[in-house]
Amino acid sequence: MILLMRRIYAGIITGLLSSLVFITPVFAQGGAEVKLCPENSVFKVLCNFQSGSFGNIISAVITLLFIVAVVVALIFLIYGGIKWIVSGGDKTAVESARNHIVAAIVGLVIAFAAYFLLNIVAGIFGIDLKLIKLPVLTP
């Protein structure tokens, strides 16, 4: 059983490393102007930071934390599924895999609920997270 798991992990690692080795290089065309913040970019909010606007930073951090939480939960879900497949019917291994899957689903639910509640509470109190400004000291 352990030998089978080692072979599976070795195959996965070999596949990932070989995909990194055989990536073809991409050469940029000369004379093209590079836009740091393209028009249709997903990260457009990151390009609009101003020194006086603290709300954009808060909004971007909340969105980034939500995305990270969802990605981590999905990785744990996939890991639990792989553990379940590789368990080979061993009750303790299946229970461990099931616990990983349940924890990942609970994490996804908590992440979505927190994001949803934050938006609902901000909407109820009329708070726009993008309009929050830090106080400025004037001499």
Q: Is there a contact between 111 and 73 (Cβ–Cβ < 8 Å)?
A: yes
Evaluate if residue 52 carries a pLDDT over 60.
no
The first and second tokens of residue 123, run together, are 């909407």
In terms of C-beta density within 10 A (0-12 exposed, 13-18 middle, 19 or more buried), how is residue 114 classed?
A: middle
54-80 per-position pLDDT tens digit: 667 777 788 888 899 999 999 999 999
27 has a pLDDT exceeding 70: no
What's the pLDDT score for residue 119?
83
pTM beyond 0.75: the answer is: no
Distance CA 59, CA 18 (A): 39
Residue with structure tokens 């990536």? 23
Task: Tell whether the model's pLDDT for residue 8 goes beyond 60.
Answer: yes
Question: How many CB atoms are closer than 10 A to CB 82?
Answer: 16
